[in-house]
Amino acid sequence: MSAFGLLVSSFSFEAARSQRVSIDIMDTNAYTKGFAPLIGEVTEVLHQAGIDPAKVHLTRSMDMRYEGQGYEVEVAVGESPDGLAEKFVSAYTSLFSSVLLDEPIEIVNWKVEGTGPSPVAGLQRGFTMPKPHKGRAEVAIRQVYVPELATMTAVPVYDRYQLLSGARITGPAIIEEQESTLVVGRGDLVRVDNDLNLIVTLNFGSTAA
């Protein structure tokens, strides 16, 4: 799952800086200047990773608190300082119910996260067939030792690249491709999905002799 997540997750990078300031003196100019270096850092890192800056989605947030408190609440914010107090109160209330204070509100940390497009967006899944479909998928019968039967048994051999979407194979069987060989156990079921992946259900059928 970690490898799969690494492949399909969007590129992202987060930058943060500490700068304490009361929201009472926060105006549009100070707000913009506070986030500007973080936006520049995030955009540059993603640009170096090959992400078009125009396709970077920016998310701003702040760690805020009532003055005098020793902990902060992360608050999602927008491109302007409008409604900072209301946004903080909403986030604070969601954590601490209706316990509100009359103390001034201050910003402690400024944060920006940049996210690029999905690396697999618009890509066709599955794989490209190295040769066209031109015959039966079953290409041979081979004598194979089947442990459940404790004897050599005639087992069908399939060409991986001839298996179309929707195909179903019940083991014992062998599926061969250029990269590897799949040995299908007795009673297992293999089905080919719409992206030509082989989905194996173990012991799908009866294994009785």
Q: Where are the domains of the chain?
A: 2-115, 138-201
Q: Looking at the whole model, is its pTM more than 0.85?
A: no
Residue 135 — very low, low, confident or very high, per pLDDT cuts 50/70/90? low
Alpha carbon of residue 110 to chain centroid: 26
Residue 208 — very low, low, confident or very high, per pLDDT cuts 50/70/90? very low
Of 179 and 27, the one with more pLDDT: 27
Instruction: Select the CATH number that applies to the domain covering 2-115 from these four: 1.10.8, 3.30.1490, 1.10.3470, 2.60.40.
Output: 3.30.1490
pLDDT for the residue 209 = 39
Q: Which of 12, 105, 15 is nearest to 61 (CA)?
A: 15
pLDDT for the residue 125 = 56
Strand segments, DSSP code E, in 103-192 are 105-115, 138-146, 151-159, 168-170, 173-176, 181-184, 189-192
